[in-house]
Amino acid sequence: MNIHFIADLLDHFKIYKDTTYAIMAEAARRSHTLYACEPQHLAWTGTNVEANARRITIVGDTANSDRSPWYAAKQAEYMPLTRFDAVLMRKDPPFDMEYVNSTWLLEIAERAGARIFNKPQAIRDHSEKLAIAEWPQYVAPTLVTRDAARLRTFHAEHGDVILKPLDGMGGMGVFRVKADGMNLGSIVEMLSENGARTVMAQKFISQITEGDKRILMIGGQPVPYSLARIPQGNEVRGNLAAGGLGRAQPLSARDREIAKTLGPTLQARGLLLAGLDAIGDYLTEVNVTSPTCFREIMDQTGFDVAGMFIDALERAVA
Ligand SMILES: Nc1ncnc2c1ncn2[C@@H]1O[C@H](COP(=O)(O)OP(=O)(O)O)[C@@H](O)[C@H]1O
Ligand SMILES: [Mg+2]
């Protein structure tokens, strides 16, 4: 297959932990042909959606995951997205207006026959934080609003809460306010920008000490191991980007139940790859833009997550 990756700048990849790299390496190992561009290299010409795509090959000793260079690229050329067997949208958030613009461009290409994963419409329609609302049976007590007074009432009711922006990532802007209410006022003002922005308040889930579990869903099926990201020291956030420790572990019965419930819906919507996050028994996020954690699970368990993904991709375009 010819597989085209829309991703961030390849030169900035930390290949020892990068999921997109793990996917590329497995695809190359199976003799698929790789192309890559960044979102700004997409164009609609009035007839086609094109990528200014570079054909790339993986170079060097693949056993050395700290090597540089790790890829070689041919001269970029404009190619319609319909020329590839599969296009993988792997741009990292922020999910801003330019991200939305990319999904619109990709949808034009899809109408012309391009095979795009995840499906652009599904990426656009899923709020990674609010998507949990579809499965209320798995959601911890939560309030989403701009209204400072309601956020205060929620805190008064639950005592120990997390406040976070709807469009954060990597733990950005996540605050815990305990029963004493210390800093509640200024955190609410800051996150809501005095009522201009929507905020999520959630009951603090004490099982976070056992980690924020990433459950990878590939082709509607769960990877059998989650990556529990465990906050370190005084940190509230388990995100690896915030210094969390990643520990791979078998899925719990509840993890499996959540996966079984969500799997068919995600698959039907064209979400070939999704990253569910669960804290204890609760679903907290449904990540669909560019889910990660392949590498950590592969390294710690030997389970071939990238292989499972390429299997699903090969089936999806067959
Ligand atoms: N309800 C909660 N209870 C306990 N900890 C939470 C809760 N919500 C978020 N956190 C902590 O904050 C971190 C980041 O929150 P998350 O909702 O995953 O946002 P992000 O998109 O930034 O990853 C989590 O890994 C966890 O450590
Ligand atoms: Mg998260």
CB count within 10 Å of CB 44 equals: 12
Pair 110, 159 in one domain: no
Residues contacting residue 12 through CB under 8 Å, at least 6 positions apart = none
Residue with tokens 């741009």: 91
Complete DSSP assignment for 155-218: HHHHSSEEEEETT--TTTT-EEE-TT-TTHHHHHHHHHTTTTS-EEEEE--GGGGG-EEEEEEE
Q: State pLDDT tens for residues 33-84.
A: 999 999 999 999 999 999 999 999 999 999 999 999 999 999 999 999 999 9
Please report the pLDDT score of residue 99 as a whole number: 98
Q: Nearest C-alpha to atom 12 of ligand 1 is from which residue?
A: 237
| Active-site annotation holds for 285 | yes
Residue 308 confidence class, pLDDT cut points 50, 70, 90:
very high
Choose the residue to mutate in 160, 164, 191, 206 for probing ligand 1, maximizing ligand atoms within 8 Å of C-beta: 164
Bridge partners for 274 per DSSP:
217
CATH of the domain at 58: 3.40.50.20
| Active-site annotation holds for 85 | no
Pair 149, 252 in one domain: no
**Whether the model pTM is above 0.85:** yes
Cα(218) to centroid(ligand 1), Å:
23
Q: Flag whether 72 is in a domain.
A: yes
- Asked if 79 and 35 touch (Cβ cutoff 8 Å), the reply is yes
Pair 198, 215 in one domain: no
Q: State pLDDT tens for residues 83-125.
A: 999 999 999 999 999 999 999 999 999 999 999 999 999 999 9
Q: Which atom of ligand 1 is nearest to the CA of 212?
A: 25
Q: Coil, strand or helix: which one is 88?
A: strand
Pair 101, 20 in one domain: yes
Please report the pLDDT score of residue 239 as a whole number: 97
Residue of 122, 141, 139, 151 whose CA lies nearest to 288: 122
Q: Which atom of ligand 1 is nearest to the CA of 229?
A: 25
Please report the pLDDT score of residue 253 as a whole number: 98
Residue 249 confidence class, pLDDT cut points 50, 70, 90:
very high
Residue 15 confidence class, pLDDT cut points 50, 70, 90:
very high
Please report the pLDDT score of residue 237 as a whole number: 98
Please report the pLDDT score of residue 234 as a whole number: 95
Q: State pLDDT tens for residues 223-243.
A: 999 999 999 999 999 999 999
Please report the pLDDT score of residue 254 as a whole number: 98
Q: Say how many domains are in the chain.
A: 3
Which range of residues forms the domain containing residue 100?
2-118
Residue 312 confidence class, pLDDT cut points 50, 70, 90:
very high
Residues contacting residue 241 through CB under 8 Å, at least 6 positions apart = 170, 171
What the block records as the tokens of 131 is: 């998507």
The predicted model gives 142-166 an average pLDDT of 98
Which one of the listed residues 54, 91, 129, 203 is annotated catalytic?
129
- Among 87, 118, 149, residue at a domain's last position: 118
Cα(224) to centroid(ligand 1), Å:
22
